[in-house]
A and B are shown apart, each in its own frame.
Chain A
Amino acid sequence: MLAKRIIPCLDVTLNEKGAMVVKGVEFVNLREAGDPVELAKRYDEEGADELVFLDITASPEGRRMMIDVIERTAEQVFIPFTVGGGIRSIDDINAILSAGADKVTINTSAVKNPELVREASEIFGSQCIVIAIDCRRNFDLSKGENVVTLEDGRKAWYEVVIYGGRKPTGIDAISWAKKVEELGAGEILLTSMNRDGTKLGYDIPITRAISEAVNIPVIASGGAGKPEHFYEGFVEGKADACLAASIFHYREISIAEVKEYLAERGIPVRW
């Protein structure tokens, strides 16, 4: 049986010590969590099903240094390895895949230039093109295409945001998800800004709505704080994979504990 995937995410930046994994709340207040190569190796050993590495510096000079970090990380892991952050062109994708990544995630550039998604999936294959969608609830219902009912009965639509959540786009997240599938995306990495870093659990209404709207795998992201949240992400959110960052970095919970919790409740996980 196909296993549900647990994916640790490394948000990596550069500082005076070199490359460093960091994690903030709702994309701000970054806190250091350790060396990316060491963390990646640890997660592979602890049973992570896949690794996501996000370059959050994404400046041109940072990118060149980051390629070296990606290369060293790839040498340590023998599970699927996805890299994203600041990807703008086919050349950027080529450089990252050549450094040893298996997939790339594209976010802002996909919104600004949807043709990049089509071109990239034609050249490299859909299986390695993951589209990251960051979104935020918008209660001005006159502007959204797909209105979703929230847990508390309120209604909202989800707006795609770019530049690390700083810029709203006016684009409806559900419509955008269908569009990237059409363009050839192989997977969707969905982050709700309303939950990212909060440890309140994944944003179930949008995760479920997008999982039901597309026929490609959806990775839920943002808000995991305890094993129950992963269970909700898979069962209520219908996600194919659940991603988390800080709770794994700071050893608040281990990947094994999450998998044990899920297995006891009948969710197929890989051992």
Chain B
Amino acid sequence: MNYGVGNLKSISKAVDYVGGHAKVTDDPKEIAEAEGIILPGVGAFKSAMENLKPYKDLIINANVPVLGICLGMQLFATESEEGGLHRGLNLIPGRVVRFPDWVGKIPHMGWNQIRIVKDHDVLDGIEEGSFVYFVHSYHFVTEDKFVLTKTEYGIEFVSAVFKDNFIGFQFHPEKSGKVGLRIVENFVKMCKR
């Protein structure tokens, strides 16, 4: 989904690479007909929510797999503290909060490990402790039942979430080498089902 934020090229390239067919589009009709939807996202929460407004119902009512990446995942939350308190899509109950300053350098940037909390098709073949690539200053706080993976950076934070057909990664699978490509491949397979 091209809703005016972020690097769409990397993720679409990764989808094509693993045998899917990515179409970068802002056309609601094309989005409604897709076998899966990806919400990329780099930028600020508030402006992303504004850009997303015309597509809100489309996403909330989607019955295909929906993948949120980084900010795209944070938009699934009830609300975010980034730049004041702002409402999210409220698809997965939770709040997006900033890392406390004492954890270290912010943004949390670079390769870090995931601890797999729950088995899920999207993590098929992914080993415990795999390294994936992160760039973010805020993280998603939610109930354990919605958590797929956790990661340690001063605190243990939620690095992947899910609920029904919605899956969100705080890290960038499209930038996470072989591990990331496997995750993208798993998602593409879920879309074809």
Residues of A within 8 A of B (CB): 1-3, 5, 44, 47, 49, 74-75, 78-80, 97-98, 100, 102, 125-128, 186-187, 215-217, 240-241, 270-271
Contact = CB atoms under 8 A, between A and B. Distances in A.
Contacts of A74: 9-10, 13
A79 B177 contact: yes
B13 to A, nearest CB: 6
Most buried by B among A80, A216, A241: A80
A78 B17 contact: yes
B105 A127 contact: no
Nearest to A124: B42
Contact of A78 (B104, B135, B152, B175): B175
12 contacts: A2-B112, A3-B111, A49-B110, A78-B14, A80-B133, A100-B9, A126-B107, A127-B42, A128-B42, A186-B109, A217-B109, A241-B110
Interface in B42-73: 42-43
Most buried by B among A2, A49, A80, A127: A2
A187 B133 CA distance: 16
A97 B174 CA distance: 15
Interface string B2-39: 00000101100110010000000000000000000000
Contact of B112 (A3, A78, A98, A102): A3
Contact of A49 (B17, B111, B153): B111
B120 to A, nearest CB: 21
A151 B4 CA distance: 50
Contact of A240 (B10, B17, B105, B106): B105
Contacts of B13: 74-75, 100
Nearest to A128: B42
B131 interface: yes
Interface in B163-185: 174-178, 180-181
A103 B174 CA distance: 15
B14 A102 contact: no
Q: Dominant SS at the B interface? A: mixed
Contacts of A100: 9-10, 13
Contacts, number: 70
Interface residues of B, number: 30
A97 B10 CA distance: 10
B113 interface: yes
B189 interface: no
A241 B9 CA distance: 25
B9 A217 contact: no
B87 interface: no
A121 to B, nearest CB: 12
Contacts of B106: 215
A49 B105 CA distance: 18
B131 A3 contact: yes
Contacts of B86: none
A78 B177 contact: yes
Interface string B108-129: 1111110000000000000000
A-B residue pairs, 8 tightest by C-beta: A270-B131, A3-B111, A270-B111, A127-B135, A2-B112, A100-B9, A80-B175, A2-B110
A5 B105 contact: no
B9 A98 contact: yes
B129 to A, nearest CB: 9
Given A1-B152, A2-B111, A49-B111, A44 B9 contact: no
B67 to A, nearest CB: 16
A241 to B, nearest CB: 8
B24 to A, nearest CB: 12
Contact of A102 (B110, B111, B113, B175): B175
A110 B113 CA distance: 34
Nearest to A187: B109
